[in-house]
Amino acid sequence: MTHLIKIAVDAMGGDNSPNKIIDGVILNHKLNKNIFYKIFGDENKIKDLISNKINKDFFEIIHTLDVVKSTDSPLEGAKRGKKTSMWLAIESVKNKETDIVVSAGNTGALLVISKLNLKMIENIDKPALSALWPNKKGMSVVLDLGANIECSSKNLLDFSIMGASLYTSLYPGDKPKVGLLNIGSEELKGNEIIKETYQFLNDKKSENYDFSGYIEGNHLMDGNVNVIVSDGFTGNVALKTAEGTANFISSELKKAMTNSIIGKISSLLNISNLRKFKKRLDPRLYNGAIFIGLDSPVVKSHGGTDYIGFANSLDVCRRIVKGNLIEKIKHNI
């Protein structure tokens, strides 16, 4: 078993759990036979869902009835105690029983419980929430997406190093280009913290990434920058705007293609291209945000995703462990 990647799975977080979580585990196992799943939650519910679907050599169920609720504040989630599925899953990473933890549960509680259990990587002050976004040329890593509303220039510099490390863990062999999200591309634009960070990154040459300067919101999807750095407030607004725009385009296109005979004929003639378009905008394919800065990796699956999205977040876990993310950050910092 030592050669298997060990993932701690909080089976009780998010909508329709544990059903979608276990279905996601089953789907992920079909694609990857080198993962061991340590599953935390109500064994009475989980056992029936997973029995005869996965060989017992590839999973273990840790029984607990205590759950962090989606309606809990971060503090309430932490106060629910050390027997919740979320706490036990994170604790297993802390105790080196697993390599990485994933949960579709309460984001705020996940961050607080992770910070209570796991140490920060030396010389990093704040963890960041990062995720993958599609662009015209492939994928970008974007951070911070809401873990830190206010950031210093030191924090943004750390995010640049961590984001570049994450990108090279997920896409080995590529040297990332780092950009600072700003209201303009000129050096004089932005607040003092952004301008100070720009100077740091511009003066500090790194063998791990190239600094590309500022990037504006309308160029996030161009693909000229692989790592996009922001404070948590700005990053979260950008994320929600991008998600909303993608949903709007998809729904409007669907309406246009089904509202008339000509639209229906056109959609039939273009069915292959439409499928490619739909797949490109499918948020399930990019599911799995990562808390980075802690000395063990923590992955947050979207609470509203389905089992396909959760299976993709498990694959993100696999790639992070295989890419030695934590060792890369420590070395680059």
CATH code at position 44:
3.40.718.10
91 and 149 fall within a common domain: no
202 and 89 fall within a common domain: no
Do 130 and 294 form a contact (C-beta atoms < 8 A)? no
DSSP class per residue in 100-136: EEEE-S-HHHHHHHHHHHSPBPTT--S-EEEEEEEET
Over residues 234-241, mean pLDDT: 82
299 and 321 fall within a common domain: yes
Domain edge (last residue) among 264, 284, 304:
284
Over residues 291-308, mean pLDDT: 90
pLDDT exceeds cutoff 60 at 162: yes
CA angle (330 as vertex; 231, 130 as ends), nearest 5: 30
157 and 225 fall within a common domain: yes
Cα distance between residue 307 and residue 19, in whole Å: 8
Q: Per the structure block, which two tokens stand in for 43? A: 């064994």
Over residues 66-85, mean pLDDT: 92
230 and 218 fall within a common domain: yes
Amino acid of residue 200 = F
Residue indicated by tokens 């105790």: 95
pLDDT exceeds cutoff 90 at 21: yes
- Expressed as residue numbers, the domain containing 280 is 126-284
Over residues 140-153, mean pLDDT: 89
51 and 191 fall within a common domain: no
Comparing 94 with 236, the larger pLDDT belongs to 94
Q: Per the structure block, which two tokens stand in for 143? A: 């951070």
Do 120 and 162 form a contact (C-beta atoms < 8 A)? no
C-alpha distance from residue 268 to each of 254, 257, 272, 279 (Å): 12, 9, 9, 17
Category of 287 on φ-ψ map: left (φ > 0), alpha (ψ -120 to 50) or beta: beta
Going by C-beta distance under 8 Å and a sequence separation of 6 or more, which residues neighbour residue 205? Answer: none
245 and 181 fall within a common domain: yes
Q: Please give the pLDDT value at position 238.
A: 81
pLDDT exceeds cutoff 90 at 138: no
119 and 101 fall within a common domain: yes
Cα distance between residue 35 and residue 1, in whole Å: 9
pTM for this entry:
0.84
266 and 318 fall within a common domain: no
Q: What total number of domains does the chain contain?
A: 2
Cα distance between residue 174 and residue 61, in whole Å: 38
52 and 77 fall within a common domain: yes
With bands split at pLDDT 50, 70 and 90, how would you rate the model's confidence at 179? very high
With bands split at pLDDT 50, 70 and 90, how would you rate the model's confidence at 1? very low
C-alpha distance from residue 312 to each of 58, 63, 136, 308, 317 (Å): 18, 25, 21, 6, 9
pLDDT exceeds cutoff 70 at 110: yes
Comparing 263 with 56, the larger pLDDT belongs to 56
C-alpha distance from residue 167 to each of 277, 310, 319 (Å): 24, 20, 11
Q: Where are the alpha helices (DSSP H) in 127-221?
A: 153-170, 192-203
Provide the mean pLDDT of the chain: 87
First to last CA, the chain: 32
135 and 80 fall within a common domain: no
Q: Please give the pLDDT value at position 153.
A: 92
Going by C-beta distance under 8 Å and a sequence separation of 6 or more, which residues neighbour residue 246? Answer: 281, 283
29 and 42 fall within a common domain: yes
Q: Please give the pLDDT value at position 66.
A: 93
With bands split at pLDDT 50, 70 and 90, how would you rate the model's confidence at 173? confident
Comparing 124 with 239, the larger pLDDT belongs to 124
Category of 190 on φ-ψ map: left (φ > 0), alpha (ψ -120 to 50) or beta: left
Distance of CA 312 to the CA centre of its chain: 10
Do 101 and 26 form a contact (C-beta atoms < 8 A)? no
